[in-house]
Amino acid sequence: MIVDLSMPLSDDTPIYPDDPPVSVRLWAVIERDGYYMNVLKMGEHSGTHVDAPAHFIPGGKTIDEMPLDRFVGRGMVVDVRNGNGTVRLDEIPDEGYFDRVVLFLTGGRELSPEVALFLVAEGVKAVGTDSMSIGDDAVHRIFLSEEVPVFENLVNLELLAGREFTFMAFPLKIEGGSGSPVRAVAFVE
């Protein structure tokens, strides 16, 4: 079974405050032009997307420089919807993170720097969240300074809680990009 973890891109896609709005406009129609095509206008961090180190780390790798194996791996969902405030270390399991893509079902919460430091020390491959942001600037810097990709605005994570799956979400090859929209999916075993 394949679970789609990506939100649709349209003029109604929620955006982070002060980010450019998403715009999908008709460019060509079959009846007039012989083909159909839209024009997309959006920031690199619109909809379901991944952050590259360059997003917060001066001189960090851009999205086109990141190794593709960082965008696929054994996934796990950590459900922290029942807490309040930033996600604390005592709310998450204390093992099982090495070389995993760890996705947080938060209901809008952000990770604390302590959780980010712990996950980096445990050797996570990538992290993700159903929130617009994984956490504050410090949380981003912790992950991105270690070249741990950060996926944001994931959907349908509740369908994966407690299940074994492979996560996959490849970015567009944007030269010098600080991030990229992705089509994130989970292959449930």
Token digits for 120? 């980096």
Tell me the pLDDT of the chain averaged across its residues. 96
CATH for the stretch 2-7+44-188: 3.50.30.50
Quick one: pLDDT at residue 124? 98
Domain-wise residue ranges, the chain:
2-7+44-188
How far, in Å, CA of 185 to CA of 133, rounded? 19
Concatenating the DSSP letter of every residue in 104-128 gives EE-SS--B-HHHHHHHHHHT-SEEE
Give the model's confidence band at 189: pLDDT under 50 very low, under 70 low, under 90 confident, else very high: confident
What share of the chain in percent tops pLDDT 90?
A: 97
User: Per residue in 22-65, pLDDT tens?
Assistant: 999 999 999 999 999 999 999 999 999 999 999 999 999 999 99
* pLDDT at site 95: 86
Determine the 3-state secondary structure of 142 from DSSP. helix
pLDDT in tens, 124-135: 999 999 999 999
- Concatenate the DSSP letters of all residues of 58-84 into one string: TTPPPGGGS-GGGGEEEEEEEE-TTS-
Average pLDDT over residues 93-122: 96
Instruction: Write down the pTM of the prediction.
Output: 0.95
134-138: average pLDDT: 97
